[in-house]
Amino acid sequence: MPRLGLSLTITGLLVMVFSFTSNVLQPFFGYLLDKRNMNRLLLTIIPFGAIFICATGYVPNAGFLFFVVALSGIAVSIYHPLASNLIGKVASPKHAGLSLSLFVAGGNLGFALAPLILVYFTNKFSLEALPILILPALLLSALYYTSRLYTVQTVTAAGASKVLHFKELFKNAALVKLNIAMGLRAWTHAAVSTFLPILIISRGNDTTFAGIMLTIFLVGAALGGMVGGYFNDKFGYKKVIIISLLLGVLPTMLFFTSDEITPRTLLYLFICGASLQAPQPSSIVWAQKLLPNYAGMASGMMMGLSFGLGGIGAAFTAALADFIGLSTALLMTTLPLALAAIVIMFTPQATAKKI
């Protein structure tokens, strides 16, 4: 922002563009990946995304910044359905939830640590040194190559020939309700992760402390995703999702109604993050059962589309904060969380129609 003189409005639009290319497009790319074995993309897609996001230190203007950020987001949209589809093929069916939870937790843990790492990196070096961070992406690509994971076939001849009529998606009550519920959950998650640092700073704390608070929330989310996946294999996805969502309501309320930061409120924040992320592995397993021939699209809905919908809700929370205050607006994000649990209660499971 300071280097290019970007306003908050332009920065907000930049975030929206990245959210669209990295989240909303995931079901579309998932559908394409369900029709053809394109797993060799695994070798190039992460370096592709890393190259463009690390080029932000060299962009000459806002227009070019939009371009590189959008391309990096597309890499995210391709990687998530591609990788989660592969996990479904190589993992044991008895541990499908745990395997997906490890995948999700890895991303969440990276998301939690990235702010701290990048603040340290850019303070010690500069934005122009960002291309150094392409190296881990190249290393990961090399590991994918040596593991030969990219050779796993994820599409059968029957699956490739099957034509999906998109109106069938809207006729599937379970799938529609699941997407709505996960979008409501993502609303709370997106609002808290986006505006928590601003709230902490507005209360007189510095940016370092705000970053630590965000990390506590996101580490809780990472661990919650692992625990949710583990219990998914034991109790079933519907029960795990409902219990997780309901468990998140009270600690979220207690944290945003507290004026002080104490060990107890930090625990509330940690549990809030864990409860918000615990349903995600279960939601992916459930969606893939509803779309057995379109596992990539199913994971794209749960890992991408839902967060796109949550981003819209977070924008509403931001607008509401201008009238009632940020703390109260964040407190009210417990309402979509509770509503998500209610929607899941009325979502059919055993009798749900498969597509």
Convert the pLDDT of each residue in 294-338 to its tens digit.
878 888 888 888 888 887 888 888 888 888 888 999 999 999 999
pLDDT for the residue 246: 95
**Cα(24)–Cα(19) distance, rounded to whole angstroms?**
7
Inside any domain, residue 93: yes
Contact (Cβ atoms closer than 8 angstroms) between residue 284 and residue 80:
no
**Cα(354)–Cα(179) distance, rounded to whole angstroms?**
15
pLDDT tens per residue across span 107-132? 888 888 887 788 788 888 888 899 99
- Average pLDDT rounded to a whole number, residues 77-106: 82
CATH classification at residue 43: 1.20.1250.20
Contact (Cβ atoms closer than 8 angstroms) between residue 30 and residue 294:
yes
Contact (Cβ atoms closer than 8 angstroms) between residue 127 and residue 57:
yes
**Cα(96)–Cα(282) distance, rounded to whole angstroms?**
9
Inside any domain, residue 54: yes
Q: How confident is the model at residue 8 (pLDDT cuts 50, 70, 90)?
A: low
**Cα(73)–Cα(299) distance, rounded to whole angstroms?**
16
Q: How confident is the model at residue 161 (pLDDT cuts 50, 70, 90)?
A: low
pLDDT tens per residue across span 195-205? 898 899 888 88
pLDDT for the residue 255: 95
Q: How confident is the model at residue 274 (pLDDT cuts 50, 70, 90)?
A: very high
Residue 128 vs residues 57, 65, 122, 124: alpha-carbon distances, Å: 5, 14, 9, 12
Inside any domain, residue 3: no
**What one-character-per-residue DSSP string does 178-215 give?**
HHHHHHHHHHHHHHHHHHHHHHHHHTT--HHHHHHHHH
Q: Name the amino acid, one letter, at 301.
A: M
Dihedral angle sign, alpha carbons of residues 320, 111, 208, 6: negative
pLDDT for the residue 312: 81
Check whether 91 has a pLDDT greater than 60. yes
- Average pLDDT rounded to a whole number, residues 212-239: 87
Q: Which residue has the higher pLDDT, 94 or 241?
A: 241
pLDDT tens per residue across span 24-74? 898 889 888 888 888 899 899 999 999 999 998 899 998 999 999 999 999
pLDDT for the residue 47: 95
Share the mean pLDDT of the chain.
Answer: 86
Q: Which residue has the higher pLDDT, 108 or 238?
A: 238
Give the residue from 109, 49, 51 showing the smallest Cα distance to 73: 49
Inside any domain, residue 352: no
Contact (Cβ atoms closer than 8 angstroms) between residue 51 and residue 184:
no
Give the residue from 134, 346, 303, 115 showing the smallest Cα distance to 213: 115
Domain that holds residue 78: 8-345
pLDDT for the residue 352: 58
Total number of domains in the chain: 1
The percentage of residues in the chain with a pLDDT greater than 70, rounded to a whole number, is 95
Inside any domain, residue 1: no
**Cα(293)–Cα(31) distance, rounded to whole angstroms?**
10
Inside any domain, residue 350: no
**What one-character-per-residue DSSP string does 24-37 give?**
ITHHHHHHHHHHS-
Pick from 26-35, 83-92, 154-163, 325-334 the range whose average pLDDT is largest: 325-334
Check whether 239 has a pLDDT greater than 60. yes
Inside any domain, residue 266: yes
pLDDT tens per residue across span 250-271? 999 999 999 888 999 999 999 9
Contact (Cβ atoms closer than 8 angstroms) between residue 153 and residue 85:
no
C-alpha Rg value of the chain to the nearest Å: 20
Check whether 343 has a pLDDT greater than 90. yes
Q: Name the amino acid, one letter, at 199.
A: L
Check whether 141 has a pLDDT greater than 90. yes
Contact (Cβ atoms closer than 8 angstroms) between residue 85 and residue 34:
yes
> What tokens does 247 get?
């468990």
pLDDT for the residue 156: 65
Check whether 222 has a pLDDT greater than 90. no
**Cα(227)–Cα(233) distance, rounded to whole angstroms?**
10
pLDDT for the residue 133: 93
Inside any domain, residue 354: no
Check whether 82 has a pLDDT greater than 70. yes
10 Å CB burial of residue 146 (0-12, 13-18, 19+) is: exposed
